[in-house]
Amino acid sequence: MLFVISAPSGTGKTTLVKRLLKELPRLRLSVSTTTRPPRKGEVEGVDYHFVSLDEFNERKKKGEFIESAEVHGACYGTSQYLLQRDEEEQYDTLFDIDTQGALNLKKERPEAILIFLMPPSLADLEERLKKRGTEGEADLKRRLARAQSEMAVKDHYDYVIMNDKLEEAYKALKGLIEEKRQKKNALS
């Protein structure tokens, strides 16, 4: 099964995704390929596959990505090969990708289950981003503007989960994935 989670930056998506991967068996994270430079602490092949723009464009031209998107001036893509490997090894794949990539993936794989994590409000999201302390004022404004455009497409998702309280959001997310897995197993 393909589970796609998208959310504006600062919504808690990474925290929730890490916990899902730790607690749910046979669930594997799709590691995207990107042209952006690694951030402090990021590991090649764990967080992303880091490549040059030329290499990314060459791979895209060869059809190696099931979906790709440009976000914040960098390119991101999902490897067809890695997705196929997960399916052959009977893992469900969890995607932590932006809305553009999610909607592109849904076009290619209509069975993908799209889940959008919503912040309680833009003001709450702004406060979370400020507490994180990783963005300057210009980046903060850019992320908030992007958050508005991302939230505008939430209706194209199969499910929307409000992350007002992290534990409640986690229970809803985990419960949704377990329910979908049970339904699939019942049909098999």
Domain of residue 45, residue span: 2-183
How many angstroms from the chain centroid is the CA of residue 92? 14
pLDDT tens, residue by residue, 141-177 = 888 888 899 999 999 999 999 999 999 999 999 999 9
Closest listed residue to residue 71, CA positions, set 40, 32, 108: 32
Percentage, residues of the chain above pLDDT 90: 71
Domain tally, the chain: 1
Residue 188 lies in a domain: no
With beta carbons less than 8 A apart as the criterion, state whether 37 and 51 touch.
no
Q: Look at 4-8, 62-66, 129-133 and tell me which has the smallest mean pLDDT.
A: 129-133
Q: Look at 55-64, 136-145, 173-182 and tell me which has the smallest mean pLDDT.
A: 136-145
Residue 165 lies in a domain: yes
3-state secondary structure the chain: CEEEEECCCCCCHHHHHHHHHHHCCCEEECCCEECCCCCCCCCECCCEEECCHHHHHHHHHCCCEEEEEEECCEEEEEEHHHHHHHHHCCCEEEEECCHHHHHHHHHHCCCCEEEEEECCCHHHHHHHHHHHCCCCHHHHHHHHHHHHHHHCCHHHCCEEEECCCHHHHHHHHHHHHHHHHHHHHHHC
With beta carbons less than 8 A apart as the criterion, state whether 138 and 129 touch.
no
Distance in angstroms (rounded) separating the CA atoms of residues 17 and 91? 16
Residue 82 lies in a domain: yes
Residue 180 has pLDDT above 80, yes or no: yes
Residue 54 lies in a domain: yes
Residue 160 lies in a domain: yes
Domain CATH code at residue 144: 3.40.50.300
